[in-house]
Amino acid sequence: MGLTLTDAKRNILSLLYEDPSHGYALAKELGVQGSTMYEHLEQLEEAGYVESHEDGRRHVYELTRKGELTVEAEQV
């Protein structure tokens, strides 16, 4: 069974479509707790919508092709 894309997860994907970011900045932008944001990001990464890489002490998240296509399909 696949991941259910809730409104919160769709909002995260939309923000990452505009620019890669780290979890704290995303949490601040969306007004949610950091722990909640990282839980969403972990689920999105496991499902193949986002990927992360280390940038110093932070993980920067960006969309995979699957994530990009999902956001583009929602914009239609």
Domains contained in the chain, number: 1
Establish if 33 belongs to a structural domain: yes
Q: What is the pLDDT of residues 10-67, one digit of tens each?
A: 999 999 999 999 999 999 999 999 999 999 999 999 999 999 999 898 899 999 999 9
State residue 53's pLDDT score. 93
**For position 53, which CATH number holds?**
1.10.10.10
Do the Cβ atoms of 43 and 61 come closer than 8 Å? no
State residue 3's pLDDT score. 87
Establish if 31 belongs to a structural domain: yes
Establish if 23 belongs to a structural domain: yes
Establish if 1 belongs to a structural domain: no
Strand, coil or helix: 62: strand
Establish if 2 belongs to a structural domain: no
Domain span at residue 58? 7-74
Q: Which amino acid, 45?
A: E
